[in-house]
Structure 1
Amino acid sequence: MAVLVTGGAGYIGSHTCLELLNAGYEIVVVDNLANSSMESLRRVKELTGKDFTFYETDLLDREAMEIIFEQNEIEAVIHLAGFKAVGESVRLPLRYYHNNITGTLVLCQLMQEYAVKAIVFSSSATVYGMSDSVPISEDFPLSATNAYGRTKLMIEEIMTDLYASDREWSIALLRYFNPIGAHSSGKLGEDPSGKPNNLMPYITQVAVGELTELHIYGSDYPTLDGTGVRDYIHVVDLARGHLKALEKVLSSTGVEAYNLGTGRGYSVMEMVISFEKVTGQHITYRMTDRRPGDIGICYSDPSKAARELGWVAQKGIEEMCEDAWRWQVNNPQGYNKEKPLLRAGIS
């Protein structure tokens, strides 16, 4: 019996595949490679010494997806596939609704047909919308401020309705906060297409010389230094959270949401300072206006995951920065153009 990982070649997906294999699970990976690389999966095999089946398939292709269920004994699904750029979702909402929601419907229909009723869903803290207090717990009101966030919220509602219709389903909704970092080997990491949307790859690309300066959006928030505060979680801790959620859905029924975060917020400037301290690299930055929809402070209450999944984030901010920098140094232009920089001060 195998675990099907959708979007397994992506940033979070590749780290999750590695942890699954190291824990002894058999996996089947499906990814359309629209925003990911086969090289990440090759490196997962290299790091684990284990092989697995891969399908270059789009979830919207129902016939191709059905072949996967026909050819493999699937026990559970970890569903990470989906478009994820907030700004793009605002410009192209129909594309996001069609891809993220229709793809999930195809997946769930096939799961139902093949009696696979355990799923771990990659949701997001964006489902909390413009929360006005912290820390954020799972019982906070839900809303969304952009199309990407609404697709996550809608899928959560679809899965809740699915369980209500059939109590044999077991569903974990994982609400990520801000994943950063990379595998300690320097072989797996975040490889954004084009200019990064997230803070850490933006910082590391400035440090490595791919970008000239970091833009910090907003310096007048009600925080210690005026910059926005977020809950940054190491991607390896996040990946291990999927394993704990998988154990849960394989051993019980129901639908539950879990925050995956550290419970601690760091400001953008704290991140920059920590990165400079760990790496010895200077980060040139420029303060700019706030982005529409951004909030000042956002961090999680992860106590439910600790209580019900036995999961607690282990890695601190300096380790997140060190691992992200090691990845960037070893892969200055991403997976497909590997060329280590000799000047960098980390190995």
Structure 2
Amino acid sequence: MAILVTGGLGYIGSHTVVELLNSNYEVVIVDDLSNSEKFILKNIEEITGKKPVFYPFDLKRRELLTQVFDAHTIDGCINFAASKAVGESQLKPVDYYENNLFTLINILQEFKERGISNFIFSSSCTVYGQADQMPIDENTPLKMPESVYGKTKQMGEEILIDFAKAYHRKIALLRYFNPIGAHPSAKIGELPIGIPNNLVPYVMQTAAGVREKLSIWGDDYPTEDGTAVRDYIYVVDLAKAHVAALRKLMEDESNVATIDIFNLGTGKGSSVLEVVKAFETANDVKVPYQICDRREGDITIAYANADKAQRELQWKSETSLEEALRTVWEWQKYLGNRNA
């Protein structure tokens, strides 16, 4: 029983591969290494004692993807292959549409031609745009996202829903809130290429002296301390939700279209400044920062109602913000020692 994990050496992908291997799934990774590093493959093996199959392929090249499907009996796919930086997506919209949508369509073509089902899509709370009410549940109306990145996620969902209905396949759309943290082993974690676009790796690098100051994008939002509020979920908790969703799809033996949608978050919002202070407290370090103008594409506030996932997947986030941020610092120390 082989599960294809695209983008499987990336941040969320690598943690999900670990949980899949620990649950005795055979894993086939396809990752073009555009936003990941090859050493993660070795570290996954060290954590699990198992070596996944790995192809360093660009999924935009359909002929390479076909080789993977010819070589393995694929029973399902968890698709993480996407560019994900909100700010960068505004500057490179065509690149984002090409990378995030063409790769998805190529995988679905293989699924269609080979009669494969069980597809899990790495989506995002950005599909809700700036929701009118909090917390956000799965019935919250979708709005046009503020960023090109968010638009690609919303389009990806629409493509998958049409695919499931037309070909009677089973899909799950997992709408993440803000993943943070690293594996307890400190051997895999978020590894941004260049200047980080997400808050927590920027905090991590600033605390380590890699960056001079953290840039906080706006302190004039209508929130308690003026900074944007998000729902920060520990990446290992998030990874376990993928295994639970996959299991649910594969246990459904009916021959009808299944479209599962789940919010994955903690149910609690934290502001940017609260995250900075929690990081300082958890790790006894200081994080110098500066306030900058708001960043195009960002929304004010978003946090989840994840009751549906708890009810239908028997899953919930269990790790505190402080504990998740402690693992971030352990990961940074591992990287520092590795690069020394």
The normalised TM-score by structure 2 is 0.96
| CA shift for structure 1 position 222 | 2.2
Asked if 1 retains the 8 angstrom alpha-carbon contact of 2:7 and 2:80, the reply is yes
Deviations 1:235-291 (A, max 9, x none): 101100100111111122501211110000111111111111111101111122222
Taking the aligned partners of 2:202 and 2:132, their CA distance within structure 1 comes to 27
| CA shift for structure 1 position 94 | 1.4
Taking the aligned partners of 2:280 and 2:231, their CA distance within structure 1 comes to 19
Structure 1 SS opposite 2:295: coil
| 1:215 corresponds to | 215
Pairs within 5 Å for 1:85-96: 85-96=85-96
Deviations 1:73-115 (A, max 9, x none): 1111111101111222212211111111111111001011122
| CA shift for structure 1 position 293 | 3.4
Deviations 1:182-228 (A, max 9, x none): 00111111110111111111111011010011111222222222211
| 1:161 corresponds to | 162
Structure 2 SS opposite 1:312: coil
1:286 counterpart = 2:285: no
Q: Could you tell which deviates more after superposition, 143-152 or 74-83?
A: 143-152
- Supply the AA of the counterpart residue of 2:298: D
| 2:314 corresponds to | 310
Over the matched positions of the two proteins, sequence identity in percent amounts to 48
Deviations 1:284-340 (A, max 9, x none): 1112222233222210111111111111001001111100000011103xxxx8136
| 1:269 corresponds to | 273
Asked if 1 retains the 8 angstrom alpha-carbon contact of 2:146 and 2:299, the reply is no
| 1:343 corresponds to | none
Taking the aligned partners of 2:105 and 2:293, their CA distance within structure 1 comes to 39
Taking the aligned partners of 2:161 and 2:294, their CA distance within structure 1 comes to 35
Asked if 1 retains the 8 angstrom alpha-carbon contact of 2:90 and 2:297, the reply is no
| 1:128 corresponds to | 128
Taking the aligned partners of 1:34 and 1:286, their CA distance within structure 2 comes to 30
Taking the aligned partners of 2:99 and 2:196, their CA distance within structure 1 comes to 21
Asked if 1 retains the 8 angstrom alpha-carbon contact of 2:129 and 2:299, the reply is no
RMSD: 1.2
Deviations 1:37-58 (A, max 9, x none): 1111110011111122111111
Asked if 1 retains the 8 angstrom alpha-carbon contact of 2:119 and 2:172, the reply is yes
Taking the aligned partners of 1:291 and 1:173, their CA distance within structure 2 comes to 27
Runs of 4+ residues deviating >4 angstroms: none
| 2:301 corresponds to | 297
| CA shift for structure 1 position 60 | 1.1
Taking the aligned partners of 1:229 and 1:144, their CA distance within structure 2 comes to 17
Taking the aligned partners of 1:110 and 1:226, their CA distance within structure 2 comes to 47
| 1:256 corresponds to | 260
| 2:150 corresponds to | 149
Structure 1 SS opposite 2:338: coil
Taking the aligned partners of 2:270 and 2:190, their CA distance within structure 1 comes to 20
**Equivalenced residues, count:** 335
Runs of 5+ in structure 2 lacking a partner? none
- Supply the AA of the counterpart residue of 1:144: P
1:76 counterpart = 2:105: no
| CA shift for structure 1 position 69 | 0.7
Pairs within 5 Å for 1:211-250: 211-250=211-250
Taking the aligned partners of 1:107 and 1:248, their CA distance within structure 2 comes to 21
Q: Could you tell which deviates more after superposition, 231-240 or 108-117?
A: 108-117
- Supply the AA of the counterpart residue of 1:158: I
The normalised TM-score by structure 1 is 0.94
| 1:37 corresponds to | 37
Structure 1 SS opposite 2:179: strand
| CA shift for structure 1 position 174 | 0.5
Q: Could you tell which deviates more after superposition, 43-52 or 212-221?
A: 212-221
Structure 2 SS opposite 1:240: helix
Taking the aligned partners of 1:154 and 1:212, their CA distance within structure 2 comes to 37
Structure 2 SS opposite 1:179: strand
| CA shift for structure 1 position 21 | 0.5
- Supply the AA of the counterpart residue of 2:216: I
Structure 1 SS opposite 2:194: coil
1:324 counterpart = 2:328: yes
- Supply the AA of the counterpart residue of 1:154: M
